[in-house]
C-alpha cells in the first residue's frame, strides 16, 4: 500500500479571491451550486479526472482525492477584494455570464460575500473606476492592510488554512528590474519606500499572502510572483506559489494543437491569433500597456513547443502574432480565431483555421477550483516555491529564467507533470517520463 505523506485536509479552507468580477463570481457560484447538488463542476480535473497509479497487477485508476487528501467543496469559505463594492450576488448578476436561475438558489450565500477594500493603483488599470480601495495607502500600508484582512477573515470564519487567488484584471506591464526584484531585501525596501513604478499592487497581495502562510496563485499575466524576490519569500515561508495567467481558450488550443504539428514533423510559417471579447477583462486589455502584459504571456507558448534549434528546417522563421480586440456585444463570450500556415512534403503550403467560440469565465472557473485545491494540497505536502506541476492550468508557467530554465508549455507533457506530482504526494512512483 502506498504511503501518503500529506497532512490531512482538516477544517475549513478560506479561499480569498482578488477580484469579484465575472471569473470570480462564476467560480464562487459554481462551487456553491455544486455542493448543493444543483450544478456539476464540469471541466474540473480535481472533481472528474482519473489517473493510473501502480503498474501491472497493481494498476488502478483513481480520482485525485482517492490518491491524496483533498479539501472538499463543503469545506470552502469564500472572501474577496475588489475596487467595486457590489457583493458577489450583485456582481454575478451584473456579469451576465450565468443565468438568473443558476444564481438565485445561492443568493444568500453570495450576498454574504462582500468585497474588502482593494489594494489598487489606478495607473495599473486605467479603465477601472471603482471606489472601494485603500485610498492614499502606500505600498507598505497596502501590505499591512492585506495581512490584517487575511488574519481577520481566517479568525472570523474559523479557517484552518487560506489560499489567495488572483482573478482580477491584467495590470500594466512591469519589466523585471534586477536591482529591485532580485532579492527579498530589495523588494521590501522598495515597498517601504512606496516605489509605485516597480511595485505593482498584485505584488502586495502575493507578499501579504505568503507572509500569512497562504499559497498564492497568479491568474493574470502580471509580473507578480515570477521574480527572484518572491521565490526567496516562498522558500522562507515554505509556501507554494503558482502562475501565471489562466489557460482558458486560445492558449489551451495552442498548447494542445502545436504538439500535433511538432510530433508530425510538419513545418510552420506563421500562426496568427486574434480574440474578440467584451467583458471587464477586454475593457482593461484595450489599454495598450495592459495588453503588453497579456501579449508577452500568450506569445511565450509556441516558442517552447516548436523550437527552431531542434528543427531548423521546420521552425526557423515562423511569424507569430497575437491580438485581443475589445468588442462589447460579446461580453464574456470570447471568440478566439487562429490562422495557422504550415508546410509539408517538399515545402508545399497548407492552412489550418481554428475558431473557438468559448465562454471565458466558464473555462476559467474550474481552473480556479483546481489551482486552489492543488495549491492547498501542495502546502500540506510541504512543497514550496514554484509549483511547476500546475503548469497544465497556466498560459505562461513560472520558471527560473535566471538559470536559463525553459517552461514546459506542451499540454501533454504538462499533464504528465501533474499526474507524477500527485502520484509522488500519494506515495506512489512517478512512473511517466517526459521525453
Instruction: Tell me the C-alpha distance between 431 and 419, whole Å.
Output: 9
Q: What is the pTM of this model?
A: 0.95
| Burial zone of 308 (CB within 10 Å; 0-12 exposed, 13-18 middle, 19+ buried) | middle
Residue 416 and residue 434 in contact, taking contact as beta carbons nearer than 8 Å: yes
pLDDT < 70 regions, the chain: 1, 297-299
pLDDT at 88: 98
Give the alpha-carbon dihedral of 364, 370, 372, 373, to 10 degrees: 160
Half-sphere exposure of 410 (CA within 13 A, CB side): 17
Locate the domains of the chain by residue range.
Answer: 12-246+361-425, 250-357
Residue 133 and residue 185 in contact, taking contact as beta carbons nearer than 8 Å: no
Cβ-based neighbour number of residue 328 at 10 Å: 11
Residue 49 and residue 392 in contact, taking contact as beta carbons nearer than 8 Å: no
Residue 201 dihedral angles phi and psi, to the nearest 5°: -55, -35
Instruction: Tell me the C-alpha distance between 297 and 223, whole Å.
Output: 10
Residue 76 and residue 31 in contact, taking contact as beta carbons nearer than 8 Å: yes
Q: What is the DSSP letter of 367?
A: H
Closest CA to 363 of 214, 252, 254, 287: 252
Instruction: Pull the grid cell for residue 373.
Output: 485545491
- Looking at the domain 250-357, which fold is it? Dihydrodipicolinate Reductase; domain 2 (3.30.360)
Instruction: Tell me the C-alpha distance between 411 and 416, whole Å.
Output: 9
Average pLDDT, the chain: 94
Instruction: Tell me the C-alpha distance between 83 and 86, whole Å.
Output: 9
Q: What is the DSSP letter of 155?
A: H
Bond from prior residue into 252 cis (ω within 30 degrees of 0): no
Rounded to 5°, angle at Cα 412 from 176 and 359 = 75
Residue 2 and residue 189 in contact, taking contact as beta carbons nearer than 8 Å: no
Instruction: Pull the grid cell for residue 285.
Output: 486589455
pLDDT at 117: 98
Beta bridge partners of 351: 341
Residue 87 dihedral angles phi and psi, to the nearest 5°: -70, 175
| Termini Cα distance of the chain | 29
Q: How many residues does the chain have?
A: 435
Instruction: Tell me the C-alpha distance between 385 and 236, whole Å.
Output: 9
The CATH classification of domain 12-246+361-425, taken from the options 3.30.230.10, 3.40.50.360, 3.40.50.720, 3.40.190.10? 3.40.50.720
pLDDT at 298: 65
Residue with cell 512512483: 429
Q: What is the DSSP letter of 416?
A: H
* DSSP letter string, 331-353: TT--EEEEEEEEE-GGG-EEEEE
Q: Is 428 left (phi over 0), alpha (psi -120 to 50) or beta?
A: beta
Residue 133 and residue 83 in contact, taking contact as beta carbons nearer than 8 Å: yes
Instruction: Tell me the C-alpha distance between 131 and 44, whole Å.
Output: 34
Residue with cell 513545418: 267
Residue 130 and residue 86 in contact, taking contact as beta carbons nearer than 8 Å: no
Cβ-based neighbour number of residue 315 at 10 Å: 20
Instruction: Tell me the C-alpha distance between 271 and 248, whole Å.
Output: 18
Closest CA to 414 of 376, 396, 388: 388
Amino acid at each position: 500500500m502506498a504511503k501518503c505523506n500529506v497532512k490531512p485536509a482538516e477544517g475549513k479552507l478560506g479561499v480569498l479571491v482578488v477580484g469579484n468580477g465575472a471569473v470570480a463570481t462564476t467560480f464562487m457560484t459554481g462551487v456553491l451550486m455544486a455542493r448543493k447538488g444543483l450544478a456539476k463542476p464540469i471541466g474540473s480535473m480535481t472533481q472528474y479526472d482519473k489517473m493510473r497509479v501502480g503498474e501491472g497487477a497493481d494498476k488502478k485508476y483513481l480520482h485525485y482525492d482517492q490518491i491524496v487528501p483533498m479539501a472538499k467543496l463543503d469545506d470552502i469559505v469564500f472572501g474577496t477584494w475588489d475596487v467595486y463594492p457590489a457583493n458577489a450576488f450583485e456582481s454575478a448578476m451584473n456579469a451576465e455570464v450565468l443565468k438568473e436561475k443558476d444564481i438565485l438558489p445561492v443568493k444568500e450565500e453570495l450576498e454574504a460575500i462582500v468585497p474588502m477594500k482593494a489594494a489598487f493603483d489606478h495607473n495599473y488599470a486605467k479603465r477601472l473606476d471603482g471606489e472601494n480601495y485603500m485610498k492614499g495607502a502606500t505600498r507598505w500600508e497596502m501590505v499591512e492592510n492585506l495581512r490584517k484582512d487575511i488574519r481577520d477573515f481566517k479568525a472570523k470564519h474559523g479557517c484552518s488554512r487560506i489560499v489567495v487567488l488572483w482573478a482580477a484584471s491584467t495590470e500594466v506591464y512591469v519589466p523585471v528590474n534586477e536591482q529591485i526584484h532580485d532579492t527579498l531585501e530589495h523588494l521590501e525596501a522598495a515597498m517601504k519606500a512606496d516605489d509605485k513604478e516597480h511595485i505593482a499592487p498584485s505584488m502586495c497581495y502575493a507578499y501579504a499572502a505568503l507572509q500569512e502562510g497562504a499559497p498564492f496563485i497568479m491568474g493574470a499575466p502580471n509580473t507578480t510572483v515570477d521574480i527572484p524576490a518572491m521565490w526567496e519569500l516562498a522558500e522562507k515561508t515554505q509556501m507554494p506559489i503558482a502562475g501565471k495567467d489562466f489557460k482558458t481558450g486560445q492558449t489551451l488550443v495552442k498548447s494542445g494543437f502545436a504538439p500535433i504539428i511538432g510530433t508530425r514533423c510538419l513545418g510552420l510559417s506563421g500562426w496568427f491569433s486574434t480574440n474578440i471579447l467584451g467583458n471587464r477583462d477586454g475593457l482593461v486589455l484595450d489599454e495598450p500597456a495592459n495588453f503588453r502584459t497579456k501579449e508577452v504571456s500568450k506569445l511565450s507558448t509556441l516558442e517552447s513547443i516548436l523550437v527552431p534549434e531542434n528543427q531548423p528546417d521546420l521552425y526557423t522563421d515562423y511569424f507569430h502574432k497575437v491580438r485581443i480586440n475589445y468588442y462589447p456585444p460579446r461580453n464574456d463570450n470570447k471568440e478566439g480565431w487562429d490562422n495557422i500556415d504550415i508546410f509539408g512534403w517538399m515545402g508545399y503550403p497548407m492552412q489550418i483555421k481554428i475558431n473557438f467560440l468559448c465562454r471565458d469565465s466558464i473555462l476559467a472557473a474550474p481552473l480556479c477550483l483546481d489551482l486552489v485545491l492543488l495549491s492547498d494540497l501542495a502546502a500540506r505536502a510541504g512543497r514550496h516555491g514554484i509549483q511547476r506541476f500546475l503548469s497544465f492550468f497556466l498560459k505562461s508557467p513560472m520558471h527560473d529564467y535566471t538559470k536559463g530554465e525553459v517552461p514546459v508549455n506542451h499540454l501533454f507533457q504538462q499533464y504528465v507533470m501533474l499526474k507524477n506530482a500527485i502520484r509522488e504526494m500519494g506515495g506512489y512512483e512517478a512512473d511517466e517520463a517526459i521525453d
